[in-house]
């Protein structure tokens, strides 16, 4: 479910009772503020914590209860039973937040680990641990209510993709940044494409490649926070558009279509123009820029952009926590994106709502993100030159010996494979339920309900408390806690 396209909600059962929670890839903890405190059928501890987000906070006790999510049961899940909170999620129909980030970002897990216990892992970690045969990824699409012609359902799934989006598996895998042991769902952005122009990007993140920006994909944030020069390039050329310092946003004529795309991994992903200039939440007759020129204050130094739902609605996304290789070593995490926007169709939908004539034959020219290299002349000494000549003379003989050794190894490997195949008595069992989907409820009911006359505002649920020491590496190779993985075992990633 979506509330004014500001946040996305799904149901989770804790202690046998169902609660609507906001889905948030920018954090890793589950917290709930129910109608009673403590929640029924839970075990509460004396450990308290205050979680601070980009907007809002939540205070409560670390507790344990059984949980059910997306058809998967977790016998004991650590979460924050909230007694006090000031958070927009509660006003928008949710009873809390479900973090879908890495456990290394989890405040609950960090505090539990300090007591010497290890049962504070995130919900996704436990989902994977309880279901060793589940593929190690989550996937979802975000529904848009501002576009009547939108036929994209809001669907969250674990370990499987929606049939109509199965081609996402063929998309380019976007490594996280950093590629190993990440804390957040950060990826590298190549460029911003606005009309026929390319807007270059850069990064202040230490070690990031030149000509790239490190962006965090955060389903818990309504809009996108980007550098000022990028926002100026998006909105500055629109007649009648101006930056409103009191709003901290650009105001844009509602009939002004902005055709733009983001480029990741050399691939172009168009953004629906209705999401680039949404109608103002306070005045439906005016429109604002959803790319906000504001410095990112959460995770300072970890990423350059905070990419929110205004972008994520235009893609079907897979967040993979890492795959096994043939040696049962777990690989690094990655993201895969599938574009859901046809630029020409999106233009028609935009003008059906905003008026005017649609654009046609909209194309984007991908930026060249490969670095050029020139020729280099290297001088070597006479002694080294003589050595190289001798290698050239005897090189054919060396190759022949290497080829013979390779042939022997291939014969031995073939014999071993034949032996193993003959020993196998039956084929591997195919999983009966390859994955589970949980449609986002269209009419979420919070324990509090929605207050009348409520003024909706964009939300940001990126966790700001990064002062703790991560309890363990986000990934281990092979396995977790230095234990080797057994064939067929669940990857012990920290989800």
Rounded Cα gap, residues 197 and 97, in angstroms: 39
Which one is predicted more confidently, 391 or 171?
Answer: 171
What would the two tokens of residue 244 be?
């409103």
Whether the pLDDT of residue 377 is over 60: the answer is: no
pLDDT value of position 189:
98
Cβ–Cβ < 8 Å for 128, 495: yes
**More confident position, 328 or 475:** 328
Q: Which of 29, 218, 302, 332 is the catalytic position?
A: 218
pLDDT in tens, 251-300: 999 999 999 999 999 999 999 999 999 998 788 889 999 999 987 766 66
| Highest-confidence segment of 125-134, 225-234, 466-475 | 225-234
Please tell me what DSSP assigns to residue 265: T
Name the strand (E) or helix (H) holding 325: none
Backbone φ and ψ of 317, nearest 5°: -120, 140
- Which one-letter DSSP state was computed for residue 102? -
221 against 451, higher pLDDT: 221
Spatial neighbors of 87 by CB under 8 A, at least 6 apart, are: 53, 55, 56, 57, 58, 97
Q: 410 in helix, strand or coil?
A: helix
DSSP string, 196-249: TEEEE----STTPPTT-EEEEE-TTBSSEEE-HHHHHHHHTTSTT-EEETTTTE
The 10s digit of each residue's pLDDT in 302-329 is 999 999 989 999 999 999 998 766 676 6
Q: Residue 283: what pLDDT? A: 85
Q: Is residue 271 exposed (0-12), middle (13-18) or buried (19+ Cβ within 10 Å)? A: buried
The pLDDT score that the predictor gives to residue 472 is: 34
Our answer to whether residue 304 is catalytic in this structure is no
Q: Sign (positive/negative) of CA torsion 42, 10, 118, 324?
A: positive
Q: What is the band of 368 on the pLDDT scale with cuts at 50, 70, 90?
A: confident
Asked whether the predicted pLDDT for residue 53 surpasses 70, the reply is yes
- Taking the C-alpha atoms of residue 389 and residue 384, their distance in angstroms, rounded to an integer, is 9
Contacts for 7 with CB less than 8 Å, ≥ 6 apart = 22, 88, 89, 92, 94, 220, 222, 309, 459, 461
Portion of the chain with pLDDT greater than 90, in percent: 52
d(CA 13, CA 20): 9
What three-state secondary structure class fits 38? Answer: coil
Residue 356 — pLDDT band, cuts 50, 70, 90?
Answer: very high
User: Going by DSSP bridges, is the β-strand pair 213-217/305-307 parallel, antiparallel, or unpaired?
Assistant: parallel
150 catalytic residue (yes or no) = no
Is the pLDDT score of 236 beyond 60? yes
- Going along the chain from its start, the domains and CATH numbers come out as 164-354 (2.40.70.10)
The model's pTM is: 0.76
Spot the catalytic one: 24, 302, 320, 332. Answer: 24
Q: How confident is the model at residue 447 (pLDDT cuts 50, 70, 90)?
A: very low
User: Given its phi and psi angles, is residue 25 left (phi above 0), alpha (psi -120 to 50 degrees) or beta?
Assistant: alpha
DSSP 8-state secondary structure symbol assigned to residue 117: -
The 10s digit of each residue's pLDDT in 95-145 is 999 999 999 999 999 999 998 888 999 999 898 877 777 788 999 888 665
Enumerate the β-bridge partners of residue 336: 318
Nearest one of 345, 226, 352 to 289, comparing CA atoms: 226
Provide the token pair at 362.
């909209």
Cα–Cα distance, 5 to 2 (Å, whole number): 5
How much is the mean pLDDT over the chain? 78
CA distance 132 to 159: 11
Flag whether pLDDT at 188 surpasses 60: yes
Per-residue pLDDT tens over the stretch 5-23: 456 788 999 999 999 998 8
């Amino acid at each position: 479910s979506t509330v004014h396209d500001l946040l996305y909600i799904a149901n989770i059962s804790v202690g046998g009772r169902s609660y609507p929670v906001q889905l948030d890839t920018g954090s890793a903890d589950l917290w709930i503020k129910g109608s009673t405190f403590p929640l029924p059928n839970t075990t509460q501890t004396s450990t308290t914590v205050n979680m601070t987000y980009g907007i809002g906070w939540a205070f409560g006790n670390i507790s344990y209860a059984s949980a059910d999510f997306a058809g998967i049961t977790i016998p004991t899940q650590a979460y924050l039973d909230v007694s006090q909170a000031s958070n927009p999620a509660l006003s928008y129909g949710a009873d809390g937040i479900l973090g879908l980030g890495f456990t290394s970002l989890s405040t609950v897990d960090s505090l539990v680990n300090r007591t010497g216990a290890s049962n504070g892992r995130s919900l996704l970690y436990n989902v994977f641990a309880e279901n060793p045969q589940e593929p190690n990824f989550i996937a979802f699409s975000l529904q848009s209510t501002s576009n009547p012609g939108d036929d994209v359902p809001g669907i969250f799934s674990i370990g499987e993709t929606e049939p109509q989006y199965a081609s996402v598996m063929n998309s380019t895998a976007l490594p996280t940044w950093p590629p190993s042991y990440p804390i957040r769902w950060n990826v590298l952005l190549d460029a911003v494409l606005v009309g026929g122009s390319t807007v270059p990007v850069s990064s202040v993140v230490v070690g990031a490649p030149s000509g790239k920006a490190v962006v965090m994909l955060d389903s818990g944030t309504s809009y996108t926070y980007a550098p000022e020069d990028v926002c100026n390039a998006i909105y500055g050329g629109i007649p009648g558009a101006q930056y409103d310092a009191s709003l901290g946003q650009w105001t844009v004529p509602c009939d002004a279509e902005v055709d733009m795309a983001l480029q990741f991994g050399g691939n172009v992903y168009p953004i629906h123009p209705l999401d680039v200039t949404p109608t103002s939440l306070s005045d439906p007759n005016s429109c604002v820029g959803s790319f906000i020129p504001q410095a990112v204050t959460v995770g300072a130094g970890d990423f350059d952009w905070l990419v929110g739902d205004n972008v994520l609605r235009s893609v079907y996304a897979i967040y993979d926590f890492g795959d096994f290789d043939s040696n049962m070593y777990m690989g690094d995490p990655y993201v895969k994106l599938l574009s859901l926007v046809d630029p020409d169709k999106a233009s028609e939908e935009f003008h059906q709502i905003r008026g005017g004539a649609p654009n046609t034959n909209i194309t984007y020219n991908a930026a060249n993100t490969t670095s050029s290299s020139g020729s280099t002349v290297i001088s070597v000494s006479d002694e080294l030159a003589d050595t190289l000549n001798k290698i050239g003379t005897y090189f054919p003989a060396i190759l022949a010996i290497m080829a013979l050794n390779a042939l022997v190894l291939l014969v031995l490997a073939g014999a071993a494979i034949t032996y193993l195949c003959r020993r196998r008595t039956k084929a591997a069992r195919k999983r009966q339920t390859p994955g589970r989907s949980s449609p986002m409820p269209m009419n979420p009911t919070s324990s509090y309900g929605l207050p009348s006359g409520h003024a909706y505002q964009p939300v940001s649920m990126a966790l700001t408390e990064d002062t703790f020491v991560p309890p363990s590496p986000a990934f281990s190779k092979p396995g977790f806690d230095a234990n080797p993985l057994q064939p067929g075992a669940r990857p012990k990633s920290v989800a």
